[in-house]
A and B are shown apart, each in its own frame.
Chain A
């Protein structure tokens, strides 16, 4: 092929070649020309060639002109004295093989169009090969799937070199089909299991790709026969593993376990934990197998621990997990950053759940309340609006803790008996203390916070305040709300007249800043 031929010409030339090959077996050598274009550097030529290959081998697969069975080596067959047809078929199968390999390489092509085209062509081959299997069925009704080819695809997707999120999102639509999903899970678990083989350091891109692929696998929620297949079958057999959701679950579980077995980077770990409760745990055949991962994550500390809480909660709640010192660890999780992390809402939602039991000992609840109140001294207003009702709810649920806000005839103390550094809530002497922090927060600059903190001045009302609507409140929402609020009277004005930009002399701005 000449390099200077225009794209239209190239397409026409390739079209001629394809037709020639398809028309007579004598022209078979033209396949080499097509494959040569596939190696080209030019993006458009590659695309044309991919199209041509797709048409050519698609037709050949449909016609059954490729060799079926375990492939003998090329030289052996060509030199051997076999029938010409057989030789042709073996030879063509080898060309097909090389074409698929090249397409697999093209999945790493810098251009996204090429990648996408290669992916769709490969998937087309998968479909055709599934319909016209290239191996002999061992018995009647044997389920055959082009495992090798599909592994090539998955391997290409889980590239350790670069981020393949776009391609993966393209691939996601194939995952709608039950068979593709099943085999993807199998292939992915193999690939992931072999990820660290021989490599000390696995690049972050691989983990990201793997997570992307794994997280896009979602099993159907309800039981039922799986019938949406990518590869068309005339009839489905009950003996196939693909049709059973149980098998899918097993594959799913294996895939995730193999993935989580590795030492994941923190960021990926967080991502996994975020979707854990919602899209992983419900689909596992044995959810309790996640316990190792979750406890490890819970021990890491910080935001990861907060996230691991959710999964742990499901295990404790639904799967009878016994977790020693759970509350102690939860208590340990409370540090000033709790109010500033992204997962604040989720954490407090869970904390509310954990502390909703009325069978908790009073010392524990008091320690939590005191700790939260202490932390509230550094919290921003949006967090305060949530945590103050939270504390009040704790006091409402556990009347024994009301001494924290109401201790008549108590002795006046020199210092707060509460020990903030103590890790064990039982030893923290929270019950002997009072919530002076809330009293301090009554002086908070934001009126709503101040009002919320003043709730402890009166005897607490009986019904709890639902904190669910307060969990997701952001400062910007409060800001907008304040802006929209209309005062009953006209806008009050400052009566001390302005002097200048920095204000009066005793103002801090004037003391510490100059205009020039």
Chain B
């Protein structure tokens, strides 16, 4: 019952003339209206039940029940139901027209099936859209229209009548005058419509066919034209246009226009930039990157920056740049740029890098991805023409050196000059295959690279990269990401080999850098992985013995490479910060036991100082280490103005590792750089060579001390930091047992130290904002409803609302059920009454007839008696 009720409700709400439809009526019967009087008028309260129409609503409820409940009640004992099986009767999705069509088709089918199967003569009538084909053939040119446009203007009475006209009986006269049905008996309206529909559809089809024909023809013509065009292409466009003028054939022109329309259009592009613009752009880019770097170095939060990105990008960048003009790093950019602009080919290293770059581009052309660039063909001529315009671009790439490799898509654009070099290079390197699959493991990569010359190795790596550029296939990205790790491992192997193949590593750094630029995440993961490996190894030995030996050259090279791939000046960086800790561990946990350890330690110091070269951060371990090294080089240790810390001992077997006493060796020594190979393995040397190495190490150490003094000079307690160094250097000088160059160096360091300002300004805390007094602000509670519902939480209110609603609904449902029952009872009563009345009537009738019979019989009897 509830079901019927809810259905009824839905209907009621859907009906626009709802319960209070009466209000909308112009003058409701005042006797039907019941007014619910309000005790108080409340402003803003919507009253919904002020006026009711009890009679109307009762009648509607009654009607609804008669339609639903009563029906159910009457059919309560019946099993069979009437069902309307007409096609699509209850389907509202089919339009009435379609419905009609389908019904017609079904009817036809039924008729057809009913035909006698033995009746061979009766051919089935072929129809199209319900229209006999024979008829269509007869009258196919009745409406002969080329296009829709012609048809559009026609607005005959007949057409309008058939299209829009109402019932069939409106135009009886005209229907008979139809051309098709003149002699035939007048068709029904339905047939007429169908005919019309069929006709128009047919026309449409014809028009379509015609258009297709035309298209086909045009295409054919296009093809012909193309064949001819190939011949015409040699001619100057002028003569071509001239020829066209001579033959003003409209079809040809149309074809041309259409062809031009179909031809692939060149994408609009920015105009070619001038030299100054390019330079400025490059400078802007560097500025932006530098500002970004500065921000990270100072450890400022990003959000301050990202709040107003638009504004900052315009003003703030310039400010940052101007402020930092004294930054040496930045100046060097400027210098480099200016240098290049003045004498583009003067810089030998720039020239070299250009050659390398050309190599890359040269055979990138030969690679398979050449076919991938669709505009390569058409660009050839235009590029040749705009060679001059591209000139500055070339220079620019010269100037930036590796800039082009940073933006590969630009670098891949071939220029004719490079094409020339390509051929002979390709010939020279015919033995190397052009395509390589990305190695799946490090061993595979090793097998690819081992035994080849440096150039070939580079070539192989670059070809692997180019053949598997992420834009070429889906899986390439993941593959190349792995390649970075493999390359890193390979470099480690190279460094660990004896002798270390540093030349190859030196060249492999470039592809590593490029890969890192492409996949920063995976590259950082790979670097982290190798660092963690190295640290774990060290941790093991440190835990057991409290110290560890200096690790192999590979770890040092990893650290150096990490510093080249990632910005070392960041306040915090996911790779660099652990790498810094790793360096610090090398300097604090590894005791220096041999000359090789000294070389390694000095290399670590160099890497460490390079890391902080921009940020000028303070490294206590480094000072300690340099102090220790200087201590080792001090021959007689009487004065103790300094203390050595952990890995170094004031006295012990290694405390005089670097001291040289041979006068002759000192005289013959010449200052030169330390070969990095020594860190990998120091060959047995003669005493003189060893002494020279010692002196070289000392020279490097002094240079590093000098660098530290310059870098840390501005630090507040610089003199306390540098105190042990100063003590050692004065001792050195007083001993006078070193070559004059070294003594000069020490002396200059000492003067540098003294020249640093000694100002000690007392520290002052930054003023912090005064903490505001605690105020007791009143607690504001939103008053939603007066009464007991006030002041509860939102959830509680919601719950109460639901409970209330449920109660109301429940009451309503009970009421409806009660009314249903009442209705049914009423119905049942009326049925019984009806039945009783019928019976009474029948009984009466019977009595009546019996009485009549009796009367008649009595009358007859009386007659007989009378007789």
Residues A440 and B570 in contact, CB atoms below 8 Å apart = no
Residues of B within 8 A of A412 (CB): 759-762
**Interface residue A342 (Cβ < 8 Å from any Cβ of B):** yes
- Residue in contact with B673 in the complex, picked from A443, A482, A503, A511, CB distance below 8 Å: A511
Q: Are A440 and B717 in contact (CB under 8 A)?
A: yes
Interface contact B646-A337, CB-CB below 8 Å: yes
Which one of B506, B539, B577 contacts A500 once the chains associate, using CB atoms below 8 Å?
B506
Q: Hey, which chain B residues are within 8 Å of A497, CB to CB? A: 401-403, 405-406, 513
A475 adjacent to chain B (CB < 8 Å): yes
Given contacts A381-B581, A508-B613, A512-B606, contact A491 B574 (CB under 8 A): yes
Known: A436-B760, A479-B535, A508-B707. A514 touches B567 (CB 8 A): no
Query: Does B718 lie at the interface of the complex (its beta carbon under 8 Å from any beta carbon of A)?
Result: yes
| Segment of B118-126, B159-167, B461-469, B517-525 in the binding face | B517-525
Known: A336-B645, A436-B763. A475 touches B618 (CB 8 A): no
Would you call A493 an interface residue if the criterion is a C-beta within 8 Å of the partner chain's C-beta atoms? yes
A340 within 8 A of B: yes
Q: Contact between B588 and A443 (Cβ–Cβ < 8 Å)?
A: no
**Within A482-516, which residues are at the interface with B (CB < 8 Å)?**
482-483, 485-495, 497-503, 506-509, 511-516
Tell whether A235 is near chain B: CB-to-CB under 8 Å: no
Q: Which residues of B contact A408 (CB under 8 A)?
A: 762, 764
B493 at the binding interface (Cβ < 8 Å): no
Residue numbers in A under 8 Å from B603 (CB-CB): 509, 513
Q: What chain A residues lie within 8 Å of B607 (beta carbons)?
A: 509
- The answer to whether A407 touches B764, judged by C-beta atoms less than 8 angstroms apart, is yes
Which one of B621, B645, B758, B763 lies within 8 Å of A337 (CB-CB)? B645
Bound-state CA distance A443–B615 (Å) is 9
Asked whether any CB of chain A lies closer than 8 Å to the CB of B688, the reply is no
Q: In the complex, A467→B96 CA distance in Å?
A: 86
Interface residue? B733 (CB, 8 A)? no
* A457 (CB) vs chain B CBs: closest residue: B766
Contact A444:B617 (CB < 8 A) given known A336-B643, A412-B762: yes
Name the B residues within 8 Å of A415 (CB-CB): 719, 758, 760
Say yes or no: is B507 at the interface (Cβ < 8 Å to chain A): yes
B296 at the interface (CB under 8 A from A): yes
Q: For residue B560, give the distance in angstroms from its CB to the closest CB of chain A.
A: 7
* Residue of A with least CB distance to B505: A501
CA distance A408 to B764 in the complex (A): 6
As a 0/1 sequence over residues 544 to 579 of chain B, the CB contacts with chain A under 8 angstroms (1 = contact) are 001000000000010011011111101111110110
- CB pair B509 A498 closer than 8 Å: yes
Contact A458 B566, beta carbon cutoff 8 Å: no
Q: Is the CB of A374 within 8 A of B720?
A: yes
Q: Are A492 and B675 neighbours in the complex by a CB distance under 8 Å?
A: no
Q: Which residues of chain A are within 8 angstroms of B509 by Cβ–Cβ distance? A: 498-501
Q: Are B765 and A444 in contact (CB under 8 A)?
A: no
Q: Report B677 CB to chain A, min CB distance, Å.
A: 6
Q: Could you tell me the distance in whole angstroms from the C-beta of B610 to the nearest C-beta in chain A?
A: 5
Task: Tell me the bound Cα distance from A405 to B510 in angstroms.
Answer: 48
Distance in angstroms from B618 CB to nearest chain A CB is 4
Q: Is A404 located at the chain interface by the 8 A CB criterion?
A: yes
Counting residue pairs across A and B whose Cβ atoms lie within 8 Å, the total is: 272
B289 at the interface (CB under 8 A from A): yes
Contact residues in A for B616 (Cβ distance below 8 Å): 443
Contact B715 A443 (CB under 8 A): yes
Give every chain A residue within 8 A of B704 (Cβ-Cβ).
508, 512
A171 CB-CB contact with B under 8 Å: no
Q: Which of A447-504 contact B (CB under 8 A)?
A: 447, 450, 456-459, 475-476, 478-480, 482-483, 485-495, 497-503
We find that the number of chain B residues with CB closer than 8 angstroms to chain A is 107
Taking CB atoms, residues of chain A closer than 8 Å to B621 are: 380
Q: Judging by beta carbons under 8 Å apart, are A414 and B760 in contact?
A: yes
Interface bits A304-321 vs B (CB < 8 Å: 1, else 0): 000000000000000000
B512 at the interface (CB under 8 A from A): yes
* B618 with A494: CB separation less than 8 A: no
In chain A, positions 336-381 with a C-beta closer than 8 Å to chain B are 336-337, 339-340, 342, 374, 376-381
* Interchain CB contact under 8 A, B502 and A516: yes
For B557, the closest partner residue in chain A by CB is A501
Q: Do the beta carbons of A491 and B758 come within 8 Å of each other?
A: no
Residues of A within 8 A of B617 (CB): 443-445, 450
* B720–A416 touching, CB < 8 Å: yes
Residue of B whose beta carbon sits closest to that of A384: B620
How close is A153's CB to chain B, nearest CB, in angstroms?
33
Contact assessment for A495 and B289 in the assembled complex, using a CB-CB cutoff below 8 Å: yes
Residues of B within 8 A of A498 (CB): 402, 509-510, 512-513, 564-565
Q: Are A337 and B643 in contact (CB under 8 A)?
A: yes
Residues of A within 8 A of B611 (CB): 445
Residues of chain B within 8 A of A278, CB atoms compared:
none
Q: Does A434 contact B (CB under 8 A)?
A: yes
The smallest beta-carbon distance between A365 and chain B, in angstroms, is 17
In the complex the two chains form, is B613's CB within 8 Å of A507's CB?
yes
Question: What is the bound-complex CA distance between A340 and B625, given in angstroms?
Answer: 14
- Bound CA span A335–B724, Å: 14
Interface 0/1 of A427-452, CB less than 8 Å to B? 00000001111011101111100100
A406 at the interface (CB under 8 A from B): yes
Which A residues, 385 to 442, have Cβ-Cβ distances below 8 Å to chain B?
404-408, 410-416, 420, 434-437, 439-441
Q: Which residue of B lies closest to A416 (CB)?
A: B760
Other contacts beyond A457-B766, A487-B572: 14, CB < 8 A? A336-B645, A377-B620, A377-B717, A407-B762, A444-B620, A445-B617, A483-B532, A492-B292, A494-B565, A500-B509, A502-B506, A508-B707, A513-B673, A515-B676
Q: List 12 A-B contacts (CB under 8 A).
A: A335-B643, A339-B645, A379-B620, A443-B616, A444-B620, A458-B766, A480-B532, A490-B520, A491-B574, A503-B610, A507-B613, A512-B700
Interface residues of A (CB under 8 A from B): 335-337, 339-340, 342, 374, 376-381, 384, 404-408, 410-416, 420, 434-437, 439-441, 443-447, 450, 456-459, 475-476, 478-480, 482-483, 485-495, 497-503, 506-509, 511-516
